[in-house]
A = this chain, B = another copy of it.
Amino acid sequence: MSQPTTSQAKPKILVQLDIDPQPSVFDGVVAVDAGVDHLFRHASVTPESARDLVHGAIFTRGAADLRATAIFIGGSDANRAEAVLKAVKKSFFGPFRVSVLFDPNGANTTAAAAVLAALEGLGGSAEGAKVAVLGGTGPVGSRVARLLAGLGAEVTVGSRDLTKAQATATDLSERVGRTIGAFAMSDLADSIKDASVVVAAGAAGVVLAPRSVLAGLSHLKVLIDLNAVPPLGIEGVEATDRHANHGGVLCWGALGVGGTKMKIHKAALRALFEKNDQVIDAEEALAIGRAL
């Protein structure tokens, strides 16, 4: 049912399904700037309430016009949002479906932008690169790990809680079909000593990688810090860094990655309205970013 040839005239409607009590203003502004004509904003969406909303989206316009309706799933808790995504996909009915962008708290578009930075820092390929993701159990960190592993990198995820890191690593390994390692942040220096790429995706305002540890990394090529609130996650990386060369290491800060994230976010929204059968999750967001 993709790319029907008829009517182009229907206004573009984006149904924003947000799991939080207030729908995200951020996601709304980006949608407007990506050319959405009408934004239907829903808050406190649950897997249970998603079905009727999806049916309203798929059973109104004719087949040729379905691509002018799309769904955005967002909110601050990526796991709860993922349950809504699952319910949305289950509510589709054969050809009665609309395209979906899944980007809770910007996790997918941010991870995709971080991975683009890593690829740029590595000269284009992540194949075989040793990557350490600090704060790797969170929504962004786990997606960075998943995407880079999918590109052939040897990825490890670090957390203050080793058990948590191991659980995330196991989940991701199954998902990607490739082993992802785990380490405790208390064991940082030793755990990342061979890394060529270090990505910090931890909680705001916590220094994850101090200069003393970074100094000992002899293979280091790329540093990416996704925290914009001082103190930053990686000592020595500035929030505005974007392909900045600090002593031979290429660095990206949160704002440097953020510009790319916004471009991916808008391009993904525009892509929604090209055909009615897309689900844009992390991998698709990365593909959109690579095509920019």
Contacts and interface: CB of A to CB of B under 8 A. Distances in A.
B28 A49 contact: no
Interface stretch (A36-44, A77-85, A189-197, A238-246): A36-44
Contacts of A29: 13, 56-57, 60-61, 69
Contact of A53 (B11, B25, B38, B49): B25
A10 interface: yes
Contact of A33 (B44, B57, B60): B60
B61 A24 contact: no
A221 interface: no
A30 to B, nearest CB: 6
Contact of A40 (B28, B52, B69): B28
Contacts of A61: 29, 33
Interface in A27-76: 27-30, 32-33, 37-42, 44-45, 49, 52-57, 59-61, 69
| Copies of this chain held together in the complex | 3
Chain A interface mostly helix, strand, loop or mixed?
mixed
Contact of A22 (B26, B32, B33, B53): B53
A237 interface: no
Contacts of A15: 25
Contacts of A30: 60
A195 to B, nearest CB: 30
Contacts of A248: none
Interface residues of A, number: 36
A21 interface: yes
30 contacts: A10-B33, A11-B32, A13-B28, A13-B32, A15-B25, A22-B42, A22-B49, A22-B53, A23-B40, A24-B52, A24-B56, A25-B40, A25-B52, A25-B53, A25-B56, A26-B55, A26-B56, A26-B57, A27-B56, A28-B38, A28-B40, A29-B56, A29-B57, A29-B69, A33-B60, A33-B61, A38-B39, A39-B40, A40-B41, A41-B41
Contacts of A54: 25
A269 to B, nearest CB: 13
Interface string A1-29: 00000000011010100000111111111
A140 to B, nearest CB: 16
Contact of A52 (B22, B42, B49): B22
A75 B52 CA distance: 11
Nearest to A27: B56
Contacts of A49: 21-22
Contacts of A41: 40-41
Nearest to A65: B33
Rank and list the top 3 A-B pairs by shortest CB-CB distance, nearest first.
A25-B56, A26-B56, A29-B60
B42 A38 contact: no
A15 B41 CA distance: 12
